[in-house]
Chain A
Amino acid sequence: MALLQLRDLNKHFGGLHVTNSVNLVLEQGEIHCLIGPNGAGKSTLFRLILGEHQPGSGQICFAGEDITALKSFARIRRGLSVKFQVPGVFKGLSVRQNLEIALQSRLHGGELVQEIDRLLAFLGLAAEQAQTAGNLSHGQKQWLEIGMAIALKPRLLLLDEPTAGMSPEETHMTGEMVRRLNALGMTVLAIEHDMAFVRQVAQRVTVLHLGQVFAQGSIDEIVADERVAAIYLGQTHA
């Protein structure tokens, strides 16, 4: 069953056609990676899905419902969740409070406390729970934000460069984290540049180029595709 469907989505910024007739179907339960050179329109596509930008034309359907006109918070409440490219934690608040704010609309009292502890352990941040989130290392901030995103128990998790700035070991750990979440039934759409990560997690890959869907397939198909290699090398007329 399709969880997310983008139908003929278009977005212009002035004269720039950043999203050009994008059609994308995300199946329930898959891990889907979105790759493409800088400026391909990946983050814009996320912003369209999240309702931070309104598309010029086209339709976004989530779990069979047209959500194109919904505000961001309403989309989140329907089961979307996101981790931004730049870590978007609440820097002045403690790690624990960050998670509490993410969880409090779903859980209360003792259940809330238990779930915070469980998440802290899952993220490997139990020792840092009293620290101010702004003092965490970059990788820890990324994990904390992933923790906040999954705290909502989303049906679809959007990850915008979840491993940016991480060491190879941290990247691998993040990959394992994503696979575990997927095993629990979460559908994942991730923007990622790190091909090792894509290879580790992706079941399907979509290549975006100049705002258009350029290629789609398994990771092996994409890697074998000479046209994809060409756009990454800058031969945009391929």
Chain B
Amino acid sequence: MSVIVSLLRRLEGPQTLGRGRGFWSLFALVLGGAVAYPLFSDGYTVGNTVYFFVWVFIALSLSLIWGYGGSLSFGQTAFFGIAGYGYGILTINFGAGYGFTWVALLLAIAFAALFALLLGYFMFFGRIAGVFLGIVTLAVTLMLERFMAQTAGPEWHIGAARLNGFNGMSAMPPLMIPWFDEPIVLFADIGLYYVVLGMLVVVYLGLRVLMNSSFGNVIVAIRENPERAEMLGYDIRKYQLITFVIGAALAGLSGVLYTVWGQYITPSSMGMTAAALPLIWVAVGGRSDLTTTVIGTLVVLSGFQALTIYGSQYALVFMGVLLVATVLVAPNGLVLGIINWITRLARRRKQEAA
């Protein structure tokens, strides 16, 4: 019981924006709106909304590793792809019966995490830091894309699963919940929407607790000054590695959900564009906070989607401009900047009134 109380207390803290009754009322309101949303919409639109939610996990993973931990990683896209392909390979080989899709989801995430453990071990214990971490992770991502893109031939298969080169893998089963007569199949509509929304809430709150714990304290301390953190007796490489692995698992979750949502995964999901876009969402939102990361990602992503419909490739140019503008105007993120500005304004009002 006391454990639960102390966990709940960590939902608020110096590492996360938003506290008190006001914030949590707003949170409940937004969540209520999200829960009620399918009632006022059709299955197709709701299914498309899931697509936006899917990407929030990879954005949160970047916020964790880059925003809180201070290590810029392009590797999230690689973990995304590994988990996506992992899910496809497992379910195409072993089917979807007896709730196996959920086992496949967990195993695919575990693949991504294990890969991150290996890669991260060599990077952090090899003292690769700063911009070099970005370069190494980008190289790994692009290498994976190149490798998967050349697997078109029939000799490239794992069991029954053909890798299919640039066309990617498709027709893997969606997630299924075992039920009495017939399993509930979570196609990209209302069912999947509630499952993913639930995951989003759990992950968001879980990360809040984690970042406001003593572990989170050490993570931001390493971002601020790694030498000082080590000289307080913390094995900083171990902390960096654990953060990297947690981030990889979250990116992997994004990858699996993306795969079950569209029932396909292609090498381009690990390409240069795919690696750069999450960085832009997170940078624009405000990478050093979980809430602004979520808001920024959803806003930028839906804006980008709308732009793609009307302006196709120009949307990418706009994203580039947006990134440059963010770096120039609000280096800590536009959403975070706006929130800080409002808080300052409100405080000044209060002082003037007093």
Contacts and interface: CB of A to CB of B under 8 A. Distances in A.
A104 B217 contact: yes
Contacts of B234: 73, 105
B221 A101 contact: yes
B228 A84 contact: yes
A72 B224 contact: no
A176 to B, nearest CB: 24
Nearest to B215: A104
A84 B229 CA distance: 12
A77 interface: yes
Contact of B233 (A84, A91, A92, A105): A105
Contact of A72 (B218, B221, B230): B230
A44 to B, nearest CB: 15
A74 B233 CA distance: 7
A81 B224 contact: no
A81 B231 contact: yes
Given A94-B14, A97-B217, A102 B232 contact: yes
Interface residues of B, number: 19
Contact of A152 (B227, B229, B233): B233
Contacts of A72: 230-231
B245 interface: no
Contacts of A56: none
A82 interface: yes
Given A84-B228, A88-B227, A93 B233 contact: no
Interface in A80-100: 81-82, 84, 88-94, 97, 100
A229 to B, nearest CB: 35
B225 interface: yes
B25 to A, nearest CB: 25
Given A73-B236, A104-B214, A93 B231 contact: no
A91 B217 contact: no
A145 B225 CA distance: 12
A177 B285 CA distance: 44
B230 A88 contact: no
Interface residues of A, number: 27
B330 to A, nearest CB: 16
Interface in A38-91: 50, 52, 71-74, 76-77, 81-82, 84, 88-91
A101 B225 CA distance: 12
Given A73-B234, A101-B232, A88 B217 contact: no
Q: What is the predominant secondary structure among interface residues of chain A facing chain B?
A: mixed
A52 B231 CA distance: 10
Contacts of B232: 76, 101-102, 105, 148, 152
A89 B225 contact: yes
B235 interface: yes
Contacts of B214: 104-105
A148 B217 CA distance: 14
B220 interface: yes
Contacts of A97: 14, 217
A80 to B, nearest CB: 9
A104 B219 CA distance: 13
Contact of B231 (A50, A92, A105): A50
B220 A93 contact: yes
Contacts of A77: 233
A88 B228 contact: yes
A71 B125 CA distance: 12
Contact of B224 (A74, A90, A100, A104): A90
Contact of A90 (B220, B233, B235): B220
A202 B225 CA distance: 30
A160 to B, nearest CB: 11
Contacts of A145: 228
Given A100-B217, A104-B217, A90 B236 contact: no
5 contacts: A76-B230, A76-B233, A102-B232, A148-B232, A152-B232
**Closest A-B pairs by Cβ, 3 of them:** A90-B224, A76-B233, A88-B228
Interface of A: 50, 52, 71-74, 76-77, 81-82, 84, 88-94, 97, 100-102, 104-105, 145, 148, 152
Given A74-B235, A92-B223, A94-B14, 16 more contacts: A73-B230, A73-B233, A84-B228, A88-B227, A89-B225, A91-B224, A91-B225, A92-B224, A93-B14, A100-B217, A101-B218, A101-B229, A105-B233, A145-B228, A148-B228, A152-B233
